[in-house]
Amino acid sequence: MTTSPRYNLLADLTGIYFGQDADILFGETADAIMASLRETWTADEVQALRTQIVDFMNAHPDPEELERVFSRDFHRSYQPAEFGATAGEFLRSVLLALPLQA
């Protein structure tokens, strides 16, 4: 895993919140996991994560490249394809689950 510090919160999302013990620590569904994140992260952290996701997606606009880079750079215990989703679909679902800045 070669995650850039530029995407540290995105790495935390995939490695911790959607990591190996996510179901034990945060909940058994993506909704429960995201609810836990929203409860524990500050508003600034949530907005920084939103920014990192948008930046990452903009840096890799080709869907195949996005899949390849996501798989290479982020935690191996969570790969969206194993759950029937692409990396782009996963990232867009996370964006939808994050509150907009007030």
Cβ 51 vs Cβ 76: under 8 Å: no
The reported pLDDT for the residue numbered 45 is 96
pLDDT per 10-residue tile (average), the chain, 102 residues? 78 90 87 93 96 97 95 78 86 93 62
- Alpha helices, DSSP H only, in the chain? 8-12, 22-25, 30-40, 43-59, 63-73, 87-97
In this prediction, residue 34 carries a pLDDT of: 93
Look up the pTM and report it: 0.88
